Amino acid sequence: MIYFHNSFCISPQPVDLNELQLSTHNWLTVMEPSYANIPRGVLRRMGKAVRIGVGAALPLLENEQKLAGIIVGTSNGGMEDCIRFLNQVIEYKEGNLTPTNFVQSTTNAIAGQIGMMTTNTDYNATHVHRGLAFENALLDASFISAENREKSIIVGGVDEISTYNYNIDFLAGQYKKEALTNQELYSSFTEGSLAGEGAAMFLVNQKEEGATMKLEALRTIHSTDPEDVKAVLSEIADDFKIDAVMSGENGDIRLQHFYNNVETSFPQASVWRFKHLSGEYPTATSFALWVAMSILSTGKIPALVDVKRSKSALSDQHQTILFYNTYMGLQHSFMVVRGVKK
């Protein structure tokens, strides 16, 4: 479908994944860089989601001239700025409102800001599909890339956690009620997970030369029936030899049966977990894809990645990895990537 050539991630963990950053009050917040490539006057007007999204995209564009489009997946966009704007509506009685918070809160502000800062007037789109936003962005990128084979595309997933949407999701039962750290996430057999956020961006195109990995397959379904998930897993098992499973297991006991089914469907595959690093958020699979790209480019599994089951050594970079994730037990995504031999 598409080849991945470069990536950059702003997450709750250091870029080299060498020292675990612990959660605070059941939150995993991003470690923001200095943003040296963003003008200070522009940076101070950016909301957090826009800031981390632009900050993750710009490093990929330093040596890239042929760009066919910018595609971002996000569930909430700049939720913090959205609430600030709504509060202003009440405070100023719909009078003279400052537009900055409104502009920064729209979901398409991230892709739009990247386009403006790079003077890119080609395809610019944002996908807002909750837990499948990033997957739909990838699917869109594969279509646009097929029509523009000589150009690259920036595609990524971005979501922030704010006090407001944390409270809403907490009341909906999405997060843990008891206090714990991300070190204890997989041993906590209770409902809910830890809140997370992050931005991961990728440079993709149709060229195998110089690529690290290729997206071989992508499926998404909406269902609460485990049998529907098993049916998709059976199809994937028929089509691919899976060497490793990147599991979206998040410590929520209500969802564990979905992840157990994946492990039993591929008994000969290693199983890796990542949400103790990123926390739970709608586009967390973009972080997982960034981790996998690091693994396939170096041939080594970072020490912070949780190896739940190890079936074979990472003998070479030509491996096939299945990503499975469910968001709230309703939206399910399945991605298969293969390492490209250098």
Residues 330 and 242 in one domain: yes
Residues 235 and 316 in one domain: yes
Structure-model confidence comparison of residues 62 and 314, the more confident one? 62
Residues 217 and 199 in one domain: no
Residues 246 and 133 in one domain: no
Number of domains in the chain: 2
CA distance 76 to 161: 9
Residues 133 and 229 in one domain: no
Structure-model confidence comparison of residues 85 and 191, the more confident one? 191
Last residue of a domain, one of 170, 188, 205: 205
Any idea which of 14-18, 164-168, 217-221, 269-273 has the lowest mean pLDDT?
Answer: 164-168
Residues 243 and 308 in one domain: yes
Q: From 142, 141, 113, 107, select the one nearest 126 (Cα to Cα).
A: 107
Residue 24 has pLDDT above 60, yes or no: yes
* pLDDT of amino acid 264: 96
Q: From 33, 128, 119, 32, select the one nearest 71 (Cα to Cα).
A: 128
Residue 78 has pLDDT above 60, yes or no: no
> 66: pLDDT confidence band, cut at 50, 70 and 90?
confident
Residues 218 and 108 in one domain: no
CA distance 79 to 173: 19
Q: From 57, 74, 24, 11, select the one nearest 283 (Cα to Cα).
A: 74
Last residue of a domain, one of 205, 225, 249: 205
**Average pLDDT, rounded, for the chain:** 91
pLDDT digits (tens, 9 = 90+) for 238-277: 999 999 999 999 999 999 999 999 999 999 999 999 999 9
Residue 342 has pLDDT above 60, yes or no: yes
Residues 192 and 297 in one domain: no
Which token pair is 167? 């409270």
Range of the domain at 60: 2-205
Last residue of a domain, one of 185, 205, 225: 205
* pLDDT of amino acid 104: 59
- C-alpha neighbours within 13 Å on the C-beta side of residue 320: 15
Which token pair is 276? 């103790």
Residues 168 and 315 in one domain: no
Residues 191 and 277 in one domain: no
pLDDT digits (tens, 9 = 90+) for 122-161: 999 999 999 999 999 999 999 999 999 999 999 999 999 9
CB burial of 95-126 (b: ≥16 within 10 Å; e: otherwise) equals: eeeeeebbbbbbbbbbbbbbbebbebeebbbb
CB-based contact 197:161 (threshold 8 Å): yes
List the CATH number of the domain containing 312. Answer: 3.40.47.10
* pLDDT of amino acid 46: 87
Please tell me the pTM assigned to this model: 0.93
Residues 199 and 294 in one domain: no
Residues 193 and 239 in one domain: no
CA distance 316 to 311: 14
With tokens 């250091």, the residue in question is 14
Q: How large is the average pLDDT for residues 171-180? A: 95
Distance of CA 50 to the CA centre of its chain: 15
Any idea which of 79-83, 113-117, 259-263 has the lowest mean pLDDT?
Answer: 79-83
> 341: pLDDT confidence band, cut at 50, 70 and 90?
confident
